[in-house]
């Protein structure tokens, strides 16, 4: 089972992404992995797909890796 989503976002958008996840009552927890915009969003097996769906509809560029 999957328990994390790795994504690349522009570094200036990391706070925005974190606030979005917080607004979904921590559906996923955002952790900075690198200085170039790599983030890990910790999920549960039950919320993994929902987090992916949210990421793909945000008004910022999010590349799933």
pLDDT tens, position by position, for the chain (65 residues)?
569 999 999 999 999 999 999 999 878 999 999 889 999 999 999 999 999 999 999 999 999 99
Using DSSP's 3-state secondary structure scheme, residue 62 falls into coil
d(CA 52, CA 22): 15
pTM over 0.85: yes
């Amino acid at each position: 089972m999957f328990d994390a989503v790795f994504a690349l976002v522009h570094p200036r958008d990391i706070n925005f992404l974190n606030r979005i996840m917080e607004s979904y009552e921590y559906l996923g927890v955002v952790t900075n992995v690198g200085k170039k915009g790599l983030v890990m969003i910790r999920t549960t097996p039950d919320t993994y797909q929902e987090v992916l769906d949210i990421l793909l509809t945000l008004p910022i560029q999010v590349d799933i890796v």
